[in-house]
Chain A
Amino acid sequence: MTVDTAPLRILLSEAGYRFVDPPILSEAAVFLEVAGEDLRRRLYMTSGPDGRELCLRPEFTIPVCLHHLATGDAHRVADYAYLGPVFRHRAGASGEFHQAGVESFGRTDRATADGDVLALAIDAANLYGVANPDVRIGDSLLFSAVIDALGIAPGWKRRLSRAFGDPARLAAAVERVSGGTTAGAPAHAGFLAALDGTDHAAAHRIVEDLLSIAGIRSVGGRTAGEIADRFLEQSSLAAGGGLDARARAAIERFLAIEGRPDVALAALRSFAAEETLDIAGVLDGFEKRSEGLARRGIDFSRLHFSSGFGRRLDYYSGFVFEIHDPDGMAGQPVIGGGRYDRLLPALGARTSVPAVGFSLWLDRVKVTS
C-alpha cells in the first residue's frame, strides 16, 4: 500500500528544487516555540541522555528552515524539496505517515514565487490522479489591510487578526470587540465610572498607582503598566468604544467576498472604492499574483478565493492555499501551503526572509499502482 514517489521526485527536481533530508530526531523546543503548547499532545516525545526534550519531526518546514539557516546566509535564494516520514499522534490513524513538498526561500519577487509554487503544487496533485483539483486560496494581508484602513484600535486589531482563518472564532471576536457580549455591568464598574472622562495617560497612572497601593506584586510576569493598559481597553469597550457599526459592516461585507480570483478582485476593488478604504497596495499584489497564475495556464475556474480563508498556523503571513480532491477524503486537503515570511526570523534569521512552500500528504492520495 505505498504510493509511487519516483515521478514526484522527478517533478520537483526538474522544477529546480534540491532534495534535502533533515534529521528525524529533532529538538522538541523549536517546534513548541513556533507552534505553542498545544502541539505537544501530537508530538512523539522522548528525551536525550542530558534530559533535553527530543521529538520525532512532526513536519518538514521547520527542519528545512533550520537546515537553510545552518548552511549559509539566511537571505540567499534557495529552493528545497523533501520527501519522507513525519510523526504525529492522530486518533484512529497511524502516527507515521509520509509527506513531500517544497520550500522556496529568498525570492523577493513574491507574487511570482507564490504563483510558481501553487502551479507546482497543482502539477504534483495531478501526478496522484487529482484531475479536478479544488484549489482554495486566501490572503491574510487583505484582511490586515482592511482593518488597518478602517482605523481600528490596536487592541481590537490584534484580537481580530488572531481569530482570522477560523470563521466561528472571527465572528465571536467581531461580536466581542463590538461590545456585543459585555452582558451586565463590567467588573469594577464604579471605579471605571470614576475614571470616565480622565485622559488616557492620567487614567493609566491612576490604575498603576492603585495596583501598587494595594500592594499587588504577585502579578505573574505581567507589569502593572500592561494590566492598566488592558484594564482601560476593557473599560473603553464597556463604554461603547468598541468597533463602530460602520467598521463592523465593512468587515462583514469584506468577509463575504469570494469566488474566482478575477471576479473576487473586481468585487474587492468596488468594495474598497465604496467603503473609501485605501488598500490599493495589497490589491495590486493580489492582481499581480493572479496574472502570474493565468500566465502559467492555471484554470481560474479551479481556483476559489475566500477573503476569510486562512490556515491556522501562526507563521503564515499572507497568501495561503489548500488543494482538495473532490473525489477524495472530504475536508482533508491533499496539499496545503502558503507564504511564511515570519518563520525564518522566528528561528533565528535577523530580518524577515521571503519564504513560500507546500506540503503534500502522501497518505491522503489515491494509491496508484
Chain B
Amino acid sequence: MTDAPLDAPLILAVPSKGRLQENANAFFARAGLPVMQSGSERSYRGRIAGLPDVEIAYLSASEITRELAAGTVHLGVTGRDLVEEEVTDFGQRLELVLPLGFGHADVVVAVPEGWIDVATMADLDDVAADFRPRHGRWLTVATKYVNLTRRFFHEHGIADYRIVESLGATEGAPASGAADLIVDITTTGSTLSANALKVLTDGVILRSEAHLVASLPANWSGAARGALRTILDRIEAEAAGRSLREVRADVSDAEGAALVASDRFGATTPFGTSKGPLTLHCPAGKVYQCAEWLRTGAGARTVTVSRLDMLFSATSPLTAHLLGRLDAYTG
C-alpha cells in the first residue's frame, strides 16, 4: 500500500486497561514519550507530548494484536503469547521490535496433581491415546490458546484430544469437569497450585513478555517513518540505559583494565580510556563481579556505580533493521 498521504500519522496502540496499561504508560514515560489521553479519562484516543505525528489508540491487548496484523495501527504494545496465538504468520507480518521487561507470563500445559503417573508430554500422549477406548470420549483440553495448543500438541505427536474453548477461569475447568487438563498462562504458578494443577516438565509452550510490535502491512508514510525513528531512538536509549550500569573506577592502567572488563563482563568504554577515571558501561547483571574485580584485580580504591536514565548512540540497529524490513515488505 503506497497510497498513504505523506503526512498520515503513526498510530501507536496502547493497552486500554489494567496492569498492562499502567506498565506501558510507565515505560513510555521513562523513555521520554509521555502518553496523554485526550479529553476525558474515557477517551480512546491520545497523543505524545511534542510528537504531533503520533496518535495513540487505546485498545485491548488482543485487539492490538489483530489491528497490527491487519495493518490498521503501526506500532503496539502486546504480549508475545497473543501474537503467536492470534497471528499464524506473525513472522511475515509483524516485527517483535523489543521486549519491554514487563507482563512476564508462561503459557503452560497443566494437569491435575492427582495424575501421579504423568510428568511429561510423552506421558500425556499415552494418556490421550488410551482415553477414548476407556471413556468413549476424547481427552479434553480447556484453553483460550487454541492455536498454540494445537501446534504444541502436534509437535509432540499428540492427536487424540479435543479443545474446549475457555474464555475465563480456565484453571477451574478440571475441577468443574469442563475439561481434563488445561493450557493457560501463569506468572507465579500459585493459581495453578490453588487449583491442584501441576505443569508438565516439558510443558512450557512459550515464555511470554510484553513487546513493542511493529506492523509491516501498515501504511508507513514519510511522517510515520519520521515518528518511528524518534520513538525507537528514545526507546532504545531507555532500554540500553535499563540494561547497563555506569561504572567508574580510579584504576592505574585504564586500557588494560578495560580489556579485561570487556572480556570478562562484557563492559564497554563509551568515552575511551585516555583521560580521568575509567568509565565503563557494564551489563546490569555483571556489576557486582565487575566492581569486585576492579578493586581486587585492577587496584582501584574507589568504584562508583550509577544507573543510566538514557543512552543515545549514533547508530540505531533496531531502527535500521525495522526500516529495512518495511522496505522489503511487499504484502
Asked if B97 CB lies within 8 Å of chain A CBs, one says: no
Q: By the criterion CB–CB under 8 Å, are B114 and A162 in contact?
A: no
The docked-state distance in angstroms from the alpha carbon of A41 to that of B150 is 8
Partner of B122, one of A32, A158, A166, A176: A176
Chain B residues with CB below 8 A from A38, complex form: 150, 153-154, 159
A206-220 interface code vs B (CB 8 A; 1 in, 0 out): 010001001011111
The docked-state distance in angstroms from the alpha carbon of A162 to that of B156 is 13
Asked if B135 CB lies within 8 Å of chain A CBs, one says: yes
How far, in Å, is B193 (CB) from chain A's closest CB?
A: 12
Known: A41-B150, A158-B130. A218 touches B195 (CB 8 A): yes
Asked if B179 CB lies within 8 Å of chain A CBs, one says: yes
Which parts of B102-152 form the interface with A (CB within 8 Å)? 111-119, 122-123, 126-127, 129-131, 134-135, 137-140, 147, 150
Asked if A230 CB lies within 8 Å of chain B CBs, one says: yes
Asked if B160 CB lies within 8 Å of chain A CBs, one says: yes
Q: By the criterion CB–CB under 8 Å, are B116 and A36 in contact?
A: no
Asked if B19 CB lies within 8 Å of chain A CBs, one says: no
Which parts of A220-273 form the interface with B (CB within 8 Å)? 220-222, 224, 226-227, 230-231, 233-234
Partner of A221, one of B135, B153, B160, B196: B135
Known: A219-B115, A230-B127. A32 touches B162 (CB 8 A): yes
For B181, the closest partner residue in chain A by CB is A220
Asked if A274 CB lies within 8 Å of chain B CBs, one says: no
Q: By the criterion CB–CB under 8 Å, are A158 and B129 in contact?
A: yes
Q: By the criterion CB–CB under 8 Å, are B115 and A227 in contact?
A: yes
Chain A interface mostly helix, strand, loop or mixed?
helix
Chain A residues with CB below 8 A from B116, complex form: 187-188, 207, 211, 227, 231
Known: A218-B195, A220-B112. A37 touches B159 (CB 8 A): yes
The docked-state distance in angstroms from the alpha carbon of A162 to that of B147 is 24
Asked if A40 CB lies within 8 Å of chain B CBs, one says: yes
Q: By the criterion CB–CB under 8 Å, are A220 and B195 in contact?
A: no
The docked-state distance in angstroms from the alpha carbon of A29 to that of B180 is 19
Chain B residues with CB below 8 A from A205, complex form: none
Asked if B174 CB lies within 8 Å of chain A CBs, one says: yes
Asked if A159 CB lies within 8 Å of chain B CBs, one says: yes
Asked if B161 CB lies within 8 Å of chain A CBs, one says: yes
A124-160 interface code vs B (CB 8 A; 1 in, 0 out): 0000000000000000000000000000000000110
A158-175 interface code vs B (CB 8 A; 1 in, 0 out): 110011001001000000
How far, in Å, is A166 (CB) from chain B's closest CB?
A: 8
Partner of B150, one of A37, A162, A219: A37
Chain B residues with CB below 8 A from A163, complex form: 157
How far, in Å, is B78 (CB) from chain A's closest CB?
A: 22
The docked-state distance in angstroms from the alpha carbon of A217 to that of B123 is 20
For B195, the closest partner residue in chain A by CB is A218
Known: A38-B150, A222-B180. A216 touches B114 (CB 8 A): yes
Q: By the criterion CB–CB under 8 Å, are A226 and B114 in contact?
A: no
Among A36, A162, A222, A224: residue with most chain B CB under 10 A: A222
Q: By the criterion CB–CB under 8 Å, are A41 and B147 in contact?
A: yes
Partner of B113, one of A40, A159, A216, A234: A216
Chain A residues with CB below 8 A from B163, complex form: 37, 40
For A36, the closest partner residue in chain B by CB is B159
Partner of A219, one of B112, B159, B179: B112
Chain B residues with CB below 8 A from A176, complex form: 122
The docked-state distance in angstroms from the alpha carbon of A234 to that of B126 is 11
How far, in Å, is A312 (CB) from chain B's closest CB?
A: 9
Which parts of B193-211 form the interface with A (CB within 8 Å)? 195-197
How far, in Å, is A229 (CB) from chain B's closest CB?
A: 8
Partner of A220, one of B129, B138, B150, B174: B174
How far, in Å, is B140 (CB) from chain A's closest CB?
A: 8
How far, in Å, is B202 (CB) from chain A's closest CB?
A: 12
B171-204 interface code vs A (CB 8 A; 1 in, 0 out): 0001101011100000000000001110000000
Q: By the criterion CB–CB under 8 Å, are A169 and B157 in contact?
A: yes
The docked-state distance in angstroms from the alpha carbon of A151 to that of B161 is 29
Known: A158-B129, A176-B122. A218 touches B175 (CB 8 A): yes
Q: By the criterion CB–CB under 8 Å, are A37 and B138 in contact?
A: yes
How far, in Å, is B85 (CB) from chain A's closest CB?
A: 13
Q: By the criterion CB–CB under 8 Å, are A221 and B177 in contact?
A: yes
Partner of B161, one of A36, A166, A219, A233: A36
Chain A residues with CB below 8 A from B138, complex form: 33, 36-37
How far, in Å, is A248 (CB) from chain B's closest CB?
A: 18
The docked-state distance in angstroms from the alpha carbon of A230 to that of B111 is 15
Known: A36-B138, A37-B162, A218-B114. A187 touches B153 (CB 8 A): no
Among B159, B161, B179, B180: residue with most chain A CB under 10 A: B159
Q: By the criterion CB–CB under 8 Å, are A220 and B180 in contact?
A: yes
How far, in Å, is A88 (CB) from chain B's closest CB?
A: 15
A69-95 interface code vs B (CB 8 A; 1 in, 0 out): 000000000000000000000000000
For A313, the closest partner residue in chain B by CB is B159
Chain B residues with CB below 8 A from A314, complex form: 159
Among A38, A187, A214, A221: residue with most chain B CB under 10 A: A221
Known: A218-B174, A220-B180. A227 touches B162 (CB 8 A): no
The docked-state distance in angstroms from the alpha carbon of A277 to that of B185 is 51
The docked-state distance in angstroms from the alpha carbon of A102 to that of B205 is 41
How far, in Å, is A286 (CB) from chain B's closest CB?
A: 27
Q: Write the residues of chain A forming the contact surface with B, with a CB cutoff of 8 angstroms.
A: 32-33, 35-38, 40-41, 158-159, 162-163, 166, 169, 176, 187-188, 207, 211, 214, 216-222, 224, 226-227, 230-231, 233-234, 314
Q: List 21 A-B contacts (CB under 8 A).
A: A36-B159, A36-B160, A36-B162, A37-B161, A38-B154, A38-B159, A40-B163, A187-B116, A207-B116, A211-B116, A214-B114, A218-B112, A218-B113, A218-B196, A219-B114, A220-B181, A221-B177, A221-B180, A222-B115, A230-B130, A234-B123
For the complex of A and B, the 4 pairs showing the least CB-CB separation, nearest first, are: A220-B180, A216-B114, A231-B117, A230-B117
Known: A37-B162, A40-B163, A220-B115. 10 other contacts (CB 8 A): A36-B159, A37-B153, A37-B161, A38-B159, A158-B130, A166-B157, A217-B114, A220-B174, A221-B177, A230-B127
